[in-house]
Amino acid sequence: MSGRDPDRRRVLLDAADRVILTQGPEVSMAAIAAEAGITKPILYRHFGDKSGLYQALADRHVRTVIAQLRPELAAPGADLRSRARRTIGVYLDLISANRNLYRFLFHRASSEDSRIRSHMTALVRGLGEELGGLLVAERVVTEPTKAQVIGHAFVGMVQTTCDWWLEHPEVDRAEVVEGLVDVVAAALGPRSAAALGSRGAAVSPRSGTASHAAGRT
């Protein structure tokens, strides 16, 4: 069998998903290999090394999350608060439904391997760049550099806050969403908010970089 056969890699990633979901983010590579019915060296052979396995899992799940956020960011005709609320709500639902995978990728894998940390950072940064581009394209923010600063700030704020929320399940989801929405709306201001609402149908984020769950609104 080919060490880089895409169908075989998909089966192995499915096995990794199952074990991470059931055993948690500290699962061993040996446990993942056992779930797939192979040895650890054979597991690594399909991905090059452990870092390659981490990267394949990151691409599979982080890109999927980002792909599910894009339609909410560019929802036609929706005002600022509605778009922010739906986007943040989808993100919270995705990571809370797949918290072991989230912790595996953003905490375990990123702390163990500088290459995967850089790769994860690049994936998240891509979303900030998309958001900044969207703000300029819809004339919410007219200065491109300022738009990029705001886009990256919003993405970082949401990620950090949602990471905190996973550790505090007693905090109501709606309270977290509305708190973040308030910050977004306040940062852009009433004139920008009005612009974002009226131009919502004009542009959608460009395609590019991007775990499984349906988002609530």
> Look-up: residue for tokens 């940064």?
125
pLDDT above 90 for 205: no
DSSP H helical ranges for 74-211: 80-97, 99-103, 110-112, 114-137, 144-166, 173-198
pLDDT above 80 for 6: yes
Q: Return the minimum-mean-pLDDT range out of 21-25, 127-131, 199-203.
A: 199-203
CB atoms inside a 10 Å sphere around CB 3: 12
At residue 77, the pLDDT reads 72
Q: Residue 89 and residue 211: Cα distance in Å, rounded?
A: 15
Phi-psi region of 31 (alpha: psi -120 to 50; beta: other; left: phi over 0): alpha
Q: Residue 62 and residue 68: Cα distance in Å, rounded?
A: 10
Instruction: Write down all domains in the chain, each with its CATH number in brackets.
Output: 70-198 (1.10.357)
At residue 190, the pLDDT reads 62
Q: What is the pTM of this model?
A: 0.77
> pLDDT per residue over 125-142, tens digit each?
999 999 999 889 888 888
Q: Return the minimum-mean-pLDDT range out of 83-92, 117-126, 205-214.
A: 205-214
- CA of 217: how far to CAs of 107, 123, 196, 203, in Å? 27, 25, 19, 22
